[in-house]
Structure 1
Amino acid sequence: MSPDRDIPSFLEITKDLGVSYNSLLVSCPMGSSWGGAIGIGQFIPSSWSLVSKEVTGFLGKPADPWAVKDGILAIAVLLQKNGVVEDPRLGICRYHSGRCTTNGEKYADDILNKADLIKGKVGDMLKN
Protein backbone atom coordinates (compact mmCIF):
# COMPACT_ATOMS: atom_id res chain seq x y z
CA MET A 1 0.00 0.00 0.00
CA SER A 2 1.09 3.51 -0.63
CA PRO A 3 2.22 4.73 2.80
CA ASP A 4 0.81 8.22 2.32
CA ARG A 5 -2.33 7.52 0.30
CA ASP A 6 -3.58 4.09 1.35
CA ILE A 7 -2.39 3.10 4.81
CA PRO A 8 -4.37 5.91 6.51
CA SER A 9 -7.47 4.90 4.50
CA PHE A 10 -6.95 1.22 5.39
CA LEU A 11 -6.66 2.04 9.09
CA GLU A 12 -9.85 4.12 8.90
CA ILE A 13 -11.72 1.30 7.13
CA THR A 14 -10.74 -1.27 9.77
CA LYS A 15 -11.59 1.18 12.58
CA ASP A 16 -15.05 1.82 11.07
CA LEU A 17 -15.63 -1.94 10.86
CA GLY A 18 -14.38 -2.52 14.40
CA VAL A 19 -11.72 -5.03 13.36
CA SER A 20 -7.98 -5.20 13.84
CA TYR A 21 -6.00 -4.17 10.78
CA ASN A 22 -3.76 -7.18 11.44
CA SER A 23 -6.64 -9.63 10.99
CA LEU A 24 -7.56 -8.84 7.38
CA LEU A 25 -6.00 -10.03 4.13
CA VAL A 26 -4.72 -7.65 1.49
CA SER A 27 -3.02 -8.36 -1.82
CA CYS A 28 0.75 -8.63 -1.89
CA PRO A 29 2.94 -6.04 -3.58
CA MET A 30 4.03 -6.84 -7.11
CA GLY A 31 7.10 -5.56 -8.88
CA SER A 32 5.07 -2.89 -10.65
CA SER A 33 2.79 -1.67 -7.85
CA TRP A 34 2.33 -1.14 -4.14
CA GLY A 35 -0.17 -3.96 -3.69
CA GLY A 36 -2.58 -3.78 -0.78
CA ALA A 37 -5.87 -4.20 -2.62
CA ILE A 38 -8.71 -5.19 -0.28
CA GLY A 39 -11.91 -7.19 -0.42
CA ILE A 40 -13.62 -9.03 -3.23
CA GLY A 41 -13.47 -6.03 -5.56
CA GLN A 42 -9.72 -5.64 -4.93
CA PHE A 43 -10.12 -1.96 -4.07
CA ILE A 44 -7.12 0.14 -3.21
CA PRO A 45 -8.10 1.54 0.22
CA SER A 46 -8.21 5.14 -0.99
CA SER A 47 -10.53 4.04 -3.85
CA TRP A 48 -12.81 2.24 -1.38
CA SER A 49 -13.11 5.54 0.46
CA LEU A 50 -14.61 7.06 -2.73
CA VAL A 51 -17.61 4.70 -2.63
CA SER A 52 -17.97 3.47 0.95
CA LYS A 53 -20.33 6.23 2.14
CA GLU A 54 -22.68 5.63 -0.79
CA VAL A 55 -22.60 1.86 -0.25
CA THR A 56 -23.20 2.37 3.48
CA GLY A 57 -26.23 4.50 2.60
CA PHE A 58 -27.66 1.75 0.38
CA LEU A 59 -27.03 -0.97 2.97
CA GLY A 60 -27.92 0.93 6.15
CA LYS A 61 -24.77 -0.38 7.85
CA PRO A 62 -21.03 0.26 7.51
CA ALA A 63 -19.85 -1.03 4.14
CA ASP A 64 -17.38 -3.92 4.38
CA PRO A 65 -15.13 -4.52 1.33
CA TRP A 66 -14.59 -8.14 2.43
CA ALA A 67 -18.35 -8.91 2.47
CA VAL A 68 -19.59 -10.24 -0.88
CA LYS A 69 -22.81 -8.18 -1.05
CA ASP A 70 -21.04 -4.97 -0.01
CA GLY A 71 -18.14 -5.55 -2.38
CA ILE A 72 -20.35 -6.24 -5.40
CA LEU A 73 -22.43 -3.15 -4.68
CA ALA A 74 -19.24 -1.08 -4.35
CA ILE A 75 -17.97 -2.40 -7.69
CA ALA A 76 -21.24 -1.32 -9.33
CA VAL A 77 -21.09 2.13 -7.70
CA LEU A 78 -17.49 2.72 -8.78
CA LEU A 79 -18.14 1.50 -12.33
CA GLN A 80 -21.11 3.85 -12.56
CA LYS A 81 -19.03 6.77 -11.22
CA ASN A 82 -16.36 5.89 -13.78
CA GLY A 83 -18.81 6.23 -16.67
CA VAL A 84 -19.33 2.57 -17.54
CA VAL A 85 -22.91 3.23 -18.69
CA GLU A 86 -21.83 5.79 -21.30
CA ASP A 87 -18.57 4.09 -22.30
CA PRO A 88 -18.10 0.55 -20.94
CA ARG A 89 -14.48 0.22 -22.03
CA LEU A 90 -13.48 3.56 -20.46
CA GLY A 91 -15.40 2.84 -17.24
CA ILE A 92 -13.77 -0.57 -16.83
CA CYS A 93 -10.35 0.86 -17.68
CA ARG A 94 -10.80 3.53 -14.97
CA TYR A 95 -11.90 0.84 -12.50
CA HIS A 96 -8.64 -0.99 -13.17
CA SER A 97 -6.28 1.90 -12.54
CA GLY A 98 -8.13 5.21 -12.35
CA ARG A 99 -7.21 6.06 -15.94
CA CYS A 100 -6.62 4.28 -19.22
CA THR A 101 -3.18 2.77 -19.60
CA THR A 102 -2.02 -0.02 -21.88
CA ASN A 103 -2.58 -2.56 -19.07
CA GLY A 104 -5.95 -1.00 -18.23
CA GLU A 105 -7.07 -1.16 -21.85
CA LYS A 106 -6.12 -4.85 -22.06
CA TYR A 107 -7.97 -5.48 -18.78
CA ALA A 108 -11.07 -3.71 -20.12
CA ASP A 109 -10.94 -5.63 -23.40
CA ASP A 110 -10.60 -8.94 -21.52
CA ILE A 111 -13.60 -8.08 -19.31
CA LEU A 112 -15.75 -7.05 -22.27
CA ASN A 113 -14.82 -10.24 -24.16
CA LYS A 114 -15.75 -12.35 -21.13
CA ALA A 115 -19.05 -10.43 -20.81
CA ASP A 116 -19.88 -11.19 -24.44
CA LEU A 117 -19.07 -14.86 -23.87
CA ILE A 118 -21.32 -14.98 -20.79
CA LYS A 119 -24.14 -13.17 -22.61
CA GLY A 120 -23.92 -15.73 -25.41
CA LYS A 121 -24.06 -18.66 -22.99
CA VAL A 122 -27.00 -17.15 -21.09
CA GLY A 123 -28.79 -16.56 -24.39
CA ASP A 124 -28.19 -20.17 -25.39
CA MET A 125 -29.53 -21.40 -22.04
CA LEU A 126 -32.68 -19.30 -22.40
CA LYS A 127 -33.34 -20.77 -25.87
CA ASN A 128 -33.31 -24.32 -24.49
Structure 2
Amino acid sequence: MEQSKIANATESNWHSIKSAVHRRWDEISDEELESLEQSAEKVIDLLADRYHISPKDAEERLHAAVLEEENRSHAISEVQAAEMRFESDGGRVVPSFQDFHEAHDIYRARVYPENPH
Protein backbone atom coordinates (compact mmCIF):
# COMPACT_ATOMS: atom_id res chain seq x y z
CA MET A 1 0.00 0.00 0.00
CA GLU A 2 1.36 3.41 -0.96
CA GLN A 3 1.93 5.70 2.01
CA SER A 4 -0.27 8.76 2.25
CA LYS A 5 0.86 12.40 2.03
CA ILE A 6 0.31 12.86 5.73
CA ALA A 7 2.34 9.78 6.63
CA ASN A 8 5.21 10.88 4.44
CA ALA A 9 5.09 14.46 5.63
CA THR A 10 4.58 13.99 9.37
CA GLU A 11 5.40 10.46 10.46
CA SER A 12 8.45 11.81 12.30
CA ASN A 13 6.36 14.52 13.99
CA TRP A 14 4.06 12.45 16.18
CA HIS A 15 3.67 15.32 18.67
CA SER A 16 2.03 17.51 15.99
CA ILE A 17 -0.28 14.67 14.99
CA LYS A 18 -1.32 14.02 18.60
CA SER A 19 -1.86 17.71 19.31
CA ALA A 20 -3.88 18.13 16.13
CA VAL A 21 -6.05 15.12 16.91
CA HIS A 22 -6.68 16.32 20.47
CA ARG A 23 -7.53 19.83 19.31
CA ARG A 24 -9.84 18.74 16.47
CA TRP A 25 -11.26 15.45 17.82
CA ASP A 26 -11.16 15.79 21.60
CA GLU A 27 -13.19 12.62 22.19
CA ILE A 28 -10.24 10.48 21.02
CA SER A 29 -8.34 9.51 24.15
CA ASP A 30 -4.60 9.48 24.84
CA GLU A 31 -4.83 5.72 25.30
CA GLU A 32 -6.32 5.30 21.83
CA LEU A 33 -3.58 7.42 20.28
CA GLU A 34 -0.81 5.61 22.15
CA SER A 35 -2.20 2.28 20.93
CA LEU A 36 -1.67 3.44 17.33
CA GLU A 37 2.12 3.07 17.67
CA GLN A 38 2.90 6.55 16.31
CA SER A 39 1.48 5.68 12.91
CA ALA A 40 -0.27 8.37 10.88
CA GLU A 41 -1.83 5.61 8.75
CA LYS A 42 -3.42 4.09 11.84
CA VAL A 43 -4.74 7.52 12.88
CA ILE A 44 -6.30 7.87 9.43
CA ASP A 45 -7.89 4.42 9.79
CA LEU A 46 -9.23 5.34 13.26
CA LEU A 47 -10.76 8.58 11.97
CA ALA A 48 -12.30 6.82 8.97
CA ASP A 49 -13.83 4.09 11.15
CA ARG A 50 -14.95 6.37 13.99
CA TYR A 51 -16.57 9.03 11.83
CA HIS A 52 -17.75 6.83 8.94
CA ILE A 53 -15.77 8.69 6.31
CA SER A 54 -13.53 7.48 3.52
CA PRO A 55 -9.83 7.00 4.28
CA LYS A 56 -9.07 9.73 1.72
CA ASP A 57 -11.38 12.17 3.52
CA ALA A 58 -9.86 11.18 6.88
CA GLU A 59 -6.38 11.77 5.48
CA GLU A 60 -7.33 15.20 4.14
CA ARG A 61 -8.91 16.19 7.46
CA LEU A 62 -5.90 14.97 9.42
CA HIS A 63 -3.52 16.74 7.04
CA ALA A 64 -5.45 20.01 7.49
CA ALA A 65 -5.49 19.58 11.27
CA VAL A 66 -1.74 18.91 11.41
CA LEU A 67 -0.96 21.91 9.20
CA GLU A 68 -3.16 24.08 11.40
CA GLU A 69 -1.38 22.80 14.52
CA GLU A 70 2.09 23.34 13.05
CA ASN A 71 1.12 26.82 11.84
CA ARG A 72 -0.32 27.67 15.25
CA SER A 73 2.89 26.52 16.93
CA HIS A 74 4.98 28.52 14.47
CA ALA A 75 2.84 31.63 14.98
CA ILE A 76 3.30 31.30 18.74
CA SER A 77 7.07 31.08 18.19
CA GLU A 78 6.93 34.20 16.03
CA VAL A 79 4.99 36.07 18.71
CA GLN A 80 7.45 34.93 21.38
CA ALA A 81 10.34 36.16 19.23
CA ALA A 82 8.55 39.47 18.77
CA GLU A 83 8.05 39.72 22.54
CA MET A 84 11.83 39.62 22.94
CA ARG A 85 11.99 42.78 20.81
CA PHE A 86 9.38 44.63 22.83
CA GLU A 87 10.40 47.69 24.69
CA SER A 88 9.96 47.81 28.42
CA ASP A 89 7.86 50.63 29.84
CA GLY A 90 8.00 50.87 33.63
CA GLY A 91 7.98 47.09 34.03
CA ARG A 92 5.21 46.63 31.47
CA VAL A 93 5.92 44.95 28.18
CA VAL A 94 4.65 47.08 25.34
CA PRO A 95 4.56 45.46 21.91
CA SER A 96 5.34 47.51 18.89
CA PHE A 97 2.53 47.82 16.37
CA GLN A 98 4.77 46.48 13.60
CA ASP A 99 5.80 43.34 15.56
CA PHE A 100 2.19 42.44 16.23
CA HIS A 101 1.16 42.82 12.61
CA GLU A 102 4.19 40.93 11.28
CA ALA A 103 3.40 37.96 13.56
CA HIS A 104 -0.30 38.14 12.62
CA ASP A 105 0.52 38.26 8.88
CA ILE A 106 2.80 35.23 9.19
CA TYR A 107 0.10 33.32 11.07
CA ARG A 108 -2.63 34.17 8.54
CA ALA A 109 -0.40 33.26 5.58
CA ARG A 110 0.24 29.84 7.06
CA VAL A 111 -3.25 29.07 8.29
CA TYR A 112 -4.99 30.42 5.20
CA PRO A 113 -2.59 29.87 2.28
CA GLU A 114 -3.78 30.81 -1.14
CA ASN A 115 -4.89 27.93 -3.28
CA PRO A 116 -1.77 26.83 -5.24
CA HIS A 117 -3.88 25.61 -8.19
TM-score, normalised to structure 2, is 0.37
Larger RCO (CA within 8 A; separation ≥ 6)? 2
Kindly name which structure, 1 or 2, has the bigger radius of gyration based on alpha carbons: 2
TM-score, normalised to structure 1, is 0.34
Relative to its length, the structure with more helix (as a share) is 2
